[in-house]
């Protein structure tokens, strides 16, 4: 598979992965300028493939939202992108792929891609929707701006179709946002994001404020739509347990850095970074014995006062002397193949990682592990 | 017990930073300087004035004398020294304005906070009273109240200030009521009730401190209002003209057609003093508003050539590919290692 | 079972007069008389079932038949009632954690506030150590020193104009006769109790200088200041960062044994309820639908709503995508559906569900479920599936087995 002549290397793959639609290389984002600047995202690398759900997880302040907003250059002042590339491989209607560096694009180019190719769904639908405009007008306005060739009736028909796809009755078209429940508002937001059939949808905690049942319904609908329309999703959340169910691959962020990137099932069954392990053990399980969990001690560092070496070392239970001084690179653990990378000295091949960080990667995602993964009778 | 969530990186020394926000705001510094200057005049003006306010130069001129080395700001037609009147007249103006501000603030707290916190019938009755006062034309009421007062009372600054306050508290009360309504349901108020705090304690200790910024703003607003109303009442002749104040100075200048005869030194100094005091108070008000309400804070954006624009995060890449003109590499060179392109399955 | 309630105030939750189908179903209610005297009478009077962990002795806090209807004014002269909490009896014994789980609008927060005494119940009573709580100022004072509430948002539950010292000192001044030095000593102990050490570093901090987890610890420390018997925690961790949540949950766990506290943990997160609680009470639309030992509720839920909650909860160990049994949203509490309030969403809904509120029935040891699926002796007519949705109605898996559970089997 080639993208504009660039051969996608992939020696170890068993099946053809989809081509990348968004590539982020070495992205750095600062807040403020000069001496006051703090680094919020440091050297982030990501690849989003067509039709894939890429999850970004981390605590608040880890830079996960900053990263996503920087990609679309929607980050507000005093945010400044200080390095890296964001390559968007846009596939046109004719099937041709053109590559755009979003960081070099001017405001007109960005306007051309935003929303129509890269849409964003925010956490608070109430704030993102215009409170004094009807749902119908908000949906058709998007079309009027980006698809001027459509007639009024076509726009309306498209709005109705979109709402139906996200599970809202057409009789809600005349409603104002405040007349809708939280779940419905978030569905309208998703409908608005998808109405131009973008190639990428960035979702920033889209269901955090919703009840679990509503959240599950919306995510189900989103996945169905993804299968149908083929867009890729960047899903940002603090809820790692949800992300593991939802995402294809996951990037874990800590203090502005990506510390581990792996397939969701690999991450769940065999985390390689102590922070990933800590996050995973911060979510009580619905099954098995009840055991006391300790989570991660301490709290994340302030961006203005980053610890030297590995930024996680003050909280890390497996800290070594090396960690206090040298920052580990994001690299493939030497002990294994596969597409995962982690930034931890324990995985550099010279150290023996402790058992929780050296679990075998399951061969198939639905492996009958010896762990307490027995399904409940729900 | 697990020691979890104990941060080692506490933002140390936040307290001085908080104070310095006030001292760093140029608006607050300028406003406070002006205010301090006028308070100084109000306190020491009569003592440093070369003459008393009622002193008349013993020459028989029928004209106001322009500024001279003898009379720095000239005299009025009755040969009063303008500088002396100006310095002595500040006190009553300031006292009236501040009395008006204090009394109006107390009234607006009593009505607004009580109505907001208690709710129900209390709220409705108090709100009706406040609305009536809000609807009444303040100036007319003042004239009706003050006109029959004997002249001896109309130069009592505390009485005048209190009467002005009567017409000025209602707006503040409404604002405070609305804010109290919002604060009443705050979790910390609920927590205070859970631990068994009584109502007065909750109002004064939990709610009122959080209203201080609003209170400060409405106090300053009322002081400005009090000054202007007092000037207007003076010009209308309702304030006893024998009392030396900036208002009565303007009134006597106006009455003697000083504007027509171009005796600018007569009416300009008191008018400028009033204007300057008003500006100082307004600057203070804006400055407090900026600190309390960060959205108003002016954004110091365009430093170092970086322009912050909504929806277009600036890019400052070290390698010089910065700028909107440069085209992206449409054909990324194969030499650049792609980040995660090792096989994922 | 801790106690029974006299049916002093018969509260009829389904009072909607003009509901279609109401008349149709007076028949089955009568015909069920053959089954057993106690079987179908439950919706007319407060039920005997007291939810919460079973412990010998008098529970620290007990609520009997709590009902809360909020009046709301709409338009001119029209007053509507929000049926926020219906007939809930719950006992919180010392040294236990009871989790109340439900979606927003389930009435779980209202229940917590009813137990604090901040709002007065429409009916029912609250007993502190077995003694009904009086209404006078003195009784209120004693109550506020014994029952404390920890709120969801640690950013707003502390007043930003006061220091940590103020927040801790107020309850001590209000409820104890300690001198200045003793108060200072007690405040240090409190901060150490919630792992904010050294205490001197925190006493003079303002809330904005603390992190979310630290604030929540201060809020809990304030709650512990006067050595309460009962801690009501309303979503205490939902606003906190993931890595800090466990710390606060573990603190509540420590307080259960260390201070012998009776804790009510209100949450929407059933996994954390399973982690922390002895007993889980599941609420839906103002009513308790199921309660029992925590692991039993999550491992073998018997109420369709509990099953729905569990299938919707994030679970990384899940192999295949869950099938949600019961889409849609909770009903309006102004005009709640008659019968079982879950029946419009329930995939197993039967005709009886639409007309008669199911009483909580024992389905296991200390495990009750308010669902007709577990009632014995329903007629064929009553069992007829309620085909309200276009979707195919799944076959209730556990209905046949659980429905024949002997009534007196575990009620002793």
Which residues of chain A make contact with B6, given a CB cutoff of 8 A?
298-299
Does B9 contact C at CB distance below 8 Å?
no
Tell me the average pLDDT across A24-41.
86
Torsion sign across C-alpha atoms B142, B148, B150, B151 = positive
Residue A229 pLDDT exceeds 60: yes
Tell me the average pLDDT across C189-193.
87
With CB atoms and an 8 Å threshold, state whether B5 touches A298: yes
Neighbours of chain B (3+ CB pairs under 8 A): A, C
Chain A nearest-CA distance from B342, in A, is 5
With CB atoms and an 8 Å threshold, state whether C307 touches A378: yes
Chain A nearest-CA distance from C250, in A, is 8
User: pLDDT confidence of C73, banded at 50, 70, 90?
Assistant: confident
Residue of C nearest to A216 (CA): C312
With CB atoms and an 8 Å threshold, state whether B5 touches C250: no
Report the number of distinct structural domains present in chain B.
2
Quick check: is B285 in a domain?
A: yes
Does C219 contact B at CB distance below 8 Å?
yes
List the structure tokens of A281: 């053990």
Please tell me which of A10-24, A332-346, C24-38 the model is most confident about, judged by mean pLDDT: A332-346
Answer with the residue of higher pLDDT: A123 or A267.
A267
- Interfacial A residues in 33-92 facing C (CB < 8 Å): 59-60
Residues B327 and B222 in one domain: no
Quick check: is B1 in a domain?
A: no
With CB atoms and an 8 Å threshold, state whether C104 touches A283: no
Residues B297 and B313 in one domain: no
Which residues have C-beta within 8 Å of that of residue C164, sequence separation ≥ 6?
C191, C202, C203, C204, C205, C206, C207, C210, C218
With CB atoms and an 8 Å threshold, state whether B2 touches C247: yes
Size of interface A-C (CB pairs under 8 A): 136
User: pLDDT confidence of C308, banded at 50, 70, 90?
Assistant: very high
For the beta sheet containing A38-49, the strands, ordered from the edge strand earlier in sequence to the opposite edge, are: A38-49, A20-31, A79-91, A97-101
Query: What is d(CA A327, CA B339) in angstroms, rounded to the nearest whole number?
Result: 19
- The confidence score (pLDDT) of residue A295 equals 81
Residues B247 and B327 in one domain: no
Residues B202 and B312 in one domain: no
Does A54 contact B at CB distance below 8 Å?
no
Cβ–Cβ < 8 Å for B129, B193 = no
Does B335 contact A at CB distance below 8 Å?
no
Residues B30 and B68 in one domain: yes
Residue C342 pLDDT exceeds 50: yes
Chain A nearest-CA distance from B276, in A, is 36
With CB atoms and an 8 Å threshold, state whether A59 touches C247: no
- Interfacial A residues in 293-322 facing C (CB < 8 Å): 293-296, 299-300
B155-158 contacts at long range (C-beta below 8 A, 24 or more positions apart): B155/B92, B155/B239, B155/B240, B155/B242, B155/B243, B157/B91, B157/B92, B157/B95, B157/B96, B157/B99, B158/B95, B158/B99
Quick check: is B14 in a domain?
A: no
Phi, psi dihedrals of residue B112, rounded to the nearest 5°: -70, -50
Question: Which ranges constitute the DSSP H helices of A256-295?
Answer: 264-269, 274-280
Nearest CA-CA partner of B175 in B104, B231, B269: B104
Residue C122 pLDDT exceeds 80: yes
Does B2 contact C at CB distance below 8 Å?
yes
Please tell me which of A127-141, B329-343, C276-290 the model is most confident about, judged by mean pLDDT: C276-290
**pLDDT tens-digit map of C35-68:** 333 344 444 344 578 898 988 888 999 999 999 9
State pTM to two decimals: 0.77
Quick check: is B16 in a domain?
A: no
User: pLDDT confidence of A252, banded at 50, 70, 90?
Assistant: very high
With CB atoms and an 8 Å threshold, state whether C321 touches A214: no
Chain B nearest-CA distance from A22, in A, is 12
Which residues of chain A make contact with B335, given a CB cutoff of 8 A?
none
Cis peptide before B126 (omega within 30 of 0): no
Cβ–Cβ < 8 Å for A65, A236 = yes
List the structure tokens of A78: 């005093």
User: pLDDT confidence of B12, banded at 50, 70, 90?
Assistant: very low
Residue of A nearest to B1 (CA): A294
- The confidence score (pLDDT) of residue C192 equals 86
User: pLDDT confidence of B20, banded at 50, 70, 90?
Assistant: low
Residues B108 and B222 in one domain: yes
Best mutation target, A252, A298, A365, to test chain B (most B CBs within 10 A): A298
With CB atoms and an 8 Å threshold, state whether B210 touches C159: yes
Cβ–Cβ < 8 Å for A173, A163 = yes
Does C227 contact B at CB distance below 8 Å?
no
**pLDDT tens-digit map of B207-252:** 888 888 888 888 888 888 888 888 888 887 777 766 777 877 777 7
Tell me the average pLDDT across B297-304.
47
Q: HEC profile for chain C?
A: CCCCCCCCCCCCCCCCCCCCCCHHHHHHHHHHHHCCCCCCHHHHCCCCCCECCCCCCCCCEEEEEEEEEEEEECCCCCEEEEEEEEEEEEEECCCEEEEEECCCCCCHHHHHHHHHCCCCCCEEEEEECCEECCCCHHHHHHHHHHEEEECCCCCCCCCCCCCHHHHHHHHHHHHCCCCHHHHHHHHHHHHHHCCCCCCHHHHCCCHHHCCHHHHHHHHHHHHHCCCCCEEEEECCCCCCCHHHHHHHHHHHHHHHHHCCCEEEEEECCHHHHHHHCCEEEEEECCEEEEEEEHHHHHHCCCCHHHHHHHHHCCCCCCCCCCCCCCCCCCCCCCCCCCCCCCCCCCCCCEHHHHCCCCCCEEEECCEEECCHHHCCCCCHHHHCECCCCCCCCCCCCCHHHHHCCCCCCCCC
Cβ–Cβ < 8 Å for C13, C336 = yes
User: pLDDT confidence of B293, banded at 50, 70, 90?
Assistant: low
User: pLDDT confidence of B71, banded at 50, 70, 90?
Assistant: low
Quick check: is B183 in a domain?
A: yes
Nearest CA-CA partner of C345 in C307, C379, C315, C300: C307
With CB atoms and an 8 Å threshold, state whether A239 touches C242: yes
Residue B333 pLDDT exceeds 60: no
Query: Among partner residues A60, A217, A242, which is closest to C314 by beta-carbon distance?
Result: A242
Residue C147 pLDDT exceeds 80: yes
Residues B343 and B207 in one domain: no
Chain C nearest-CA distance from B321, in A, is 38
- Interfacial B residues in 174-213 facing C (CB < 8 Å): 186-188, 190-197, 205-206, 209-210
Query: What is d(CA B259, CA B268) in angstroms, rounded to the nearest whole number?
Result: 9
Residues B323 and B270 in one domain: no
Cβ–Cβ < 8 Å for A367, A334 = no
Nearest CA-CA partner of B213 in C160, C323, A260: C160
B246 membership: H or E segment, kind and range: helix B246-255
Which residue bears the tokens 């209100």? C266
Which residues of chain B make contact with A23, given a CB cutoff of 8 A?
338-339
Quick check: is B5 in a domain?
A: no
Does A124 contact C at CB distance below 8 Å?
no
- The confidence score (pLDDT) of residue C322 equals 79
With CB atoms and an 8 Å threshold, state whether A80 touches B314: yes
Residues B289 and B323 in one domain: no
Residues B221 and B263 in one domain: yes
List the structure tokens of C84: 């926020």
With CB atoms and an 8 Å threshold, state whether A12 touches B342: yes
- The confidence score (pLDDT) of residue A364 equals 52
Question: Is A84 strand, coil or helix?
Answer: strand
User: pLDDT confidence of A126, banded at 50, 70, 90?
Assistant: low
Query: What is d(CA B110, CA B172) in angstroms, rounded to the nearest whole number?
Result: 11
CA dihedral B68, B71, B77, B78 (to 10 degrees): -150
Range of the domain at B143: 21-301
Residue B131 sits in a domain whose CATH number is 1.10.3720.10
Question: Is A22 strand, coil or helix?
Answer: strand
With CB atoms and an 8 Å threshold, state whether A13 touches B343: yes
With CB atoms and an 8 Å threshold, state whether C170 touches B195: yes
Chain B nearest-CA distance from C101, in A, is 21
Angle (CA) C237 C240 C245, round 5° = 55
How far is Cα of residue A209 from the mean position of the Cα atoms in its chain?
17
- The confidence score (pLDDT) of residue C74 equals 67
Size of interface B-C (CB pairs under 8 A): 95
Quick check: is B123 in a domain?
A: yes
Neighbours of chain C (3+ CB pairs under 8 A): A, B
- The confidence score (pLDDT) of residue C194 equals 83
Answer with the residue of higher pLDDT: B199 or A339.
B199
- Interfacial A residues in 325-344 facing C (CB < 8 Å): none
Nearest CA-CA partner of C189 in C217, C221, C216, C157: C221
Please tell me which of A203-212, A257-266, B4-13, B287-296 the model is most confident about, judged by mean pLDDT: A257-266
**pLDDT tens-digit map of A38-74:** 888 999 999 999 999 999 998 888 888 889 888 888 8
With CB atoms and an 8 Å threshold, state whether A339 touches B340: yes
Which residues of chain B make contact with A73, given a CB cutoff of 8 A?
311-313, 315
Query: What is d(CA C160, CA B86) in angstroms, rounded to the nearest whole number?
Result: 45
Query: What is d(CA A306, CA C391) in angstroms, rounded to the nearest whole number?
Result: 55
Residues B77 and B193 in one domain: yes
Tell me the average pLDDT across A253-257.
92
Half-sphere exposure of B299 (CA within 13 A, CB side): 12
- The confidence score (pLDDT) of residue B235 equals 80
CB atoms closer than 10 angstroms to residue C334: 13
With CB atoms and an 8 Å threshold, state whether A79 touches B313: yes
Which residues have C-beta within 8 Å of that of residue B231, sequence separation ≥ 6?
B246, B247, B250, B274
User: pLDDT confidence of C91, banded at 50, 70, 90?
Assistant: very high
Chain C nearest-CA distance from B4, in A, is 5
- The confidence score (pLDDT) of residue C248 equals 87
**pLDDT tens-digit map of A154-200:** 999 988 888 888 888 888 888 888 888 888 888 888 888 888 889 99
Chain B nearest-CA distance from A276, in A, is 17
Does B1 contact C at CB distance below 8 Å?
yes
Quick check: is B329 in a domain?
A: yes
With CB atoms and an 8 Å threshold, state whether A278 touches C309: no
Answer with the residue of higher pLDDT: B293 or A284.
A284
Answer with the residue of higher pLDDT: A159 or B21.
A159
Tell me the average pLDDT across A235-259.
92
Residues B103 and B80 in one domain: yes
Tell me the average pLDDT across C201-211.
86
């Amino acid at each position: 598979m080639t993208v504009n002549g660039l051969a996608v290397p992939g020696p170890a793959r068993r099946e053809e992965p989809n081509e990348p639609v968004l590539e982020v290389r070495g992205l750095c984002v600062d807040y403020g300028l000069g001496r006051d600047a703090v680094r919020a995202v440091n050297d982030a690398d990501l690849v989003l493939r067509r039709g894939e759900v890429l999850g970004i997880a981390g605590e608040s302040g880890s830079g996960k939202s900053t990263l996503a907003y920087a990609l679309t250059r929607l980050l507000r002042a005093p945010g400044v992108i200080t390095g890296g590339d964001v390559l968007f491989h846009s596939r046109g209607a004719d099937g041709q792929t053109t590559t755009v560096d979003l960081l070099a694009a001017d405001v007109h180019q960005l306007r051309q891609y935003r929303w129509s190719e890269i849409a964003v769904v925010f956490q608070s639908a109430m704030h993102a929707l215009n409170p004094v405009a009807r749902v119908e007008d908000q949906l058709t306005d998007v079309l009027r701006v980006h698809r001027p060739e459509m007639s009024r009736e076509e726009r309306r028909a498209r709005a109705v179709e979109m709402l139906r796809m996200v599970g809202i009755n057409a009789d809600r078209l005349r409603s104002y946002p405040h007349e809708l429940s939280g779940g419905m508002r978030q569905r309208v937001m998703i409908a608005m994001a998808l109405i131009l059939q973008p190639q990428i949808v960035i979702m920033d905690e889209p269901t955090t404020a919703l009840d679990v049942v509503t959240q599950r319904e919306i995510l189900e609908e989103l996945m169905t739509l993804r299968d149908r329309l083929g867009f890729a999703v960047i899903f940002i959340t603090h809820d790692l347990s949800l992300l593991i169910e939802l995402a294809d691959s996951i990037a874990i962020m800590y203090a502005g850095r990506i510390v581990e990137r792996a397939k969701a099932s690999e991450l769940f069954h065999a985390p390689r970074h102590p922070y990933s392990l800590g996050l995973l053990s911060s979510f009580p399980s619905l099954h098995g014995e009840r055991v006391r969990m300790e989570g991660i001690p301490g709290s994340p560092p302030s961006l203005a006062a980053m610890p030297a070496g590995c930024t996680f070392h003050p909280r890390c239970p497996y800290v070594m002397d090396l960690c206090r001084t040298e920052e580990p690179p994001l690299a493939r653990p030497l002990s294994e193949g596969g597409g995962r990378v982690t930034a931890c000295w324990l995985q550099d091949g010279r150290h023996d990682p402790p058992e929780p960080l050296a679990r075998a990667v399951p061969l198939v995602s639905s492996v009958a592990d010896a762990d307490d993964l027995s399904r409940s009778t729900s | 017990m697990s020691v979890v969530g104990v941060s080692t990186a506490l933002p140390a020394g936040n307290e001085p930073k908080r104070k310095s926000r006030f001292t760093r705001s140029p608006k607050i510094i300028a406003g406070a300087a002006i205010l301090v200057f006028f308070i100084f005049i109000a306190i020491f003006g009569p003592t440093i004035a070369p003459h008393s306010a009622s002193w008349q130069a013993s020459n028989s001129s029928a004209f106001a004398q322009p500024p001279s080395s003898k009379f720095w700001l000239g005299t009025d037609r009755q040969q009063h020294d303008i500088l002396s009147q100006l310095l002595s007249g500040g006190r009553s103006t300031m006292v009236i304005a501040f009395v008006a501000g204090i009394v109006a603030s107390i009234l607006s707290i009593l009505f607004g906070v009580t109505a907001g916190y208690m709710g129900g019938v209390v709220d409705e009755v108090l709100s009706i009273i406040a609305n009536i006062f809000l609807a009444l034309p303040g100036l007319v009421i003042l004239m009706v109240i003050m006109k029959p007062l004997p002249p001896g009372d109309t130069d009592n600054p505390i009485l005048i200030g209190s009467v002005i306050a009567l017409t000025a508290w209602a707006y503040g009360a409404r604002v405070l009521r609305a804010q109290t309504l919002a604060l009443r349901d705050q979790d910390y108020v609920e927590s205070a009730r859970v631990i068994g705090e009584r109502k007065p304690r909750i109002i004064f200790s939990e709610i009122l401190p959080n209203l201080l910024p609003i209170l400060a703003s409405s106090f300053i607003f009322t002081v400005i209002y009090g000054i202007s109303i007092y000037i207007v009442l003076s010009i209308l002749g309702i304030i006893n003209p024998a009392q030396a104040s900036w208002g009565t100075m303007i009134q006597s200048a106006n009455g003697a057609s000083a504007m027509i005869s171009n005796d600018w030194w007569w009416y300009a100094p008191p008018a400028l003093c009033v204007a300057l005091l008003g500006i100082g108070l307004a600057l203070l008000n804006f400055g407090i508003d900026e600190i309390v309400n960060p959205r108003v804070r002016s954004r110091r954006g365009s430093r170092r050539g970086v322009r912050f624009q909504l929806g277009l995060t600036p890019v400052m890449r070290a390698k010089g590919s910065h700028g909107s003109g440069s085209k992206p590499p449409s054909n990324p060179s194969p030499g650049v290692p792609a980040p995660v392109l090792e096989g994922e399955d | 079972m801790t106690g029974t309630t006299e049916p002093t105030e018969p509260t009829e939750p389904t009072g909607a007069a003009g509901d279609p189908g109401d008349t149709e179903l007076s028949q089955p209610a009568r015909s069920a008389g053959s089954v057993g005297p106690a079987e179908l009478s439950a919706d007319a009077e407060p039920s005997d079932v007291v939810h919460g962990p079973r412990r010998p002795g008098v529970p620290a806090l007990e609520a009997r038949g709590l009902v809360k209807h909020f009046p709301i004014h709409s338009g001119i002269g029209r007053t509507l009632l929000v049926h926020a909490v219906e007939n809930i009896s719950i006992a919180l014994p010392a040294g236990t954690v009871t989790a109340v789980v439900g979606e927003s609008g389930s009435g779980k927060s209202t229940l917590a506030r009813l137990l604090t005494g901040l709002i007065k119940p429409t009916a029912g009573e609250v007993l502190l150590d077995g003694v009904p709580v009086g209404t006078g100022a003195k009784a209120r004072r004693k109550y506020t020193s014994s029952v404390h509430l920890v709120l969801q948002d640690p950013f707003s539950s502390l007043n930003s104009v006061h220091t940590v010292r103020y927040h801790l000192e107020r309850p001590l001044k209000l409820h104890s006769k300690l001198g200045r030095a003793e108060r200072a000593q007690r405040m240090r102990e409190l901060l150490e109790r919630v792992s904010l050490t050294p205490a001197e570093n925190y006493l003079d901090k303002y809330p904005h200088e603390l992190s979310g987890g630290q604030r929540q610890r201060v809020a809990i420390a304030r709650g512990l200041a006067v050595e309460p018997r009962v801690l009501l925690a309303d979503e205490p961790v939902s606003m906190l960062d993931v890595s800090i949540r466990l710390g606060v949950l573990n603190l509540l766990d420590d307080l259960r044994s260390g201070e012998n506290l009776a804790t009510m943990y209100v949450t929407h997160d059933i996994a954390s309820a399973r982690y922390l609680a002895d007993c889980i009470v599941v609420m839906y639309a103002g009513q308790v639908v199921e309660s029992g030992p925590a692991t039993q509720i999550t491992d073998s839920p018997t109420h369709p709503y509990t099953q729905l909650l569990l299938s919707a909860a994030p679970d990384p160990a899940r192999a295949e995508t869950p099938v949600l049994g019961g889409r849609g949203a909770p009903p309006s509490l102004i005009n709640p559906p008659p019968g079982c309030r879950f029946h419009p969403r329930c995939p197993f809904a039967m005709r009886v569900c639409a007309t008669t509120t199911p009483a909580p029935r024992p389905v296991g040891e200390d495990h009750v479920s308010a669902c007709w699926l577990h009632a014995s002796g329903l007629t064929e007519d009553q069992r007829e599936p309620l085909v309200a949705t276009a979707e195919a109605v799944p076959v209730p898996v556990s209905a046949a087995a659980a429905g024949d559970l002997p009534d007196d089997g575990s009620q002793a």
